[in-house]
Amino acid sequence: MVHDRVIELENIGLISYKKAWEYQQKLVQERLKNPLLSDKLLLVEHPPVYTLGTGSTLNNLKFDLKSFSGELYRTERGGEVTFHCLGQIVVYPILNLHYYKQDLHWYLRQLEEVVIQLLYQYNIKSYRIKGLTGVWIGNAKIAAIGIKVKRWITMHGFALNVDCNLSGFKQIIPCGIQDKFVTKMTHYDPNINIIEVKEKLVETFAKVFCISII
């Protein structure tokens, strides 16, 4: 599959979850009004924050909401509860799937493929688990995926644990799966540099989706 699509990269860096969420909503609305607008690829990192998908149950939170002083948002993405923090690359593709393939399962598998191919470049072997969304190493998840698609315009995306403090995940049952853990790239190679990972991620995304990125 070859596309002549060009995606605009925005390597935003550190931004609050709320601001990034509102920005995505703005970009989606603009593209619903004008489908000829270019696609976007947003790369961000978030300060510590918990997010819940549409069908998330509060039973997967291990803390009492009444005494919780951190940030937590219920969003329109699919999937269960997850945690974002510094050292984790969060990728928000704003794509018009009319120009690719109007198939959500295809899109989810493509996002997983980006992570799998990226990790392979670091000699980290990862894989899918049938029936579960995301990317795994052994019994541990290294990348969580949760998307929202409105009239085939995508938002939300995936989070890849590069060199982050995983302790925040201990306060939740990540993605609602009891018998699994979370991991990060620096567990397998302590010399991994997050700036380089972002560069390789963009290149891999372009390759997997057969597009150009500017």
Single-letter code of the amino acid located at 104: L
Beta bridge partners of residue 42, listed in sequence order: 10, 92
Question: Sign of torsion, CA 127 129 134 140?
Answer: negative
Largest CA distance in the chain: 52
* Torsion angles phi and psi, residue 79, rounded to 5: 95, 175
Q: Is 164 annotated in the active site?
A: no
The encoded tokens of residue 86 equal 């510094």
85, 164, 175, 210: the catalytic one is 175
Dihedral pair phi/psi, residue 135, rounded to 5°: -125, 140
Residues with catalytic function: 175
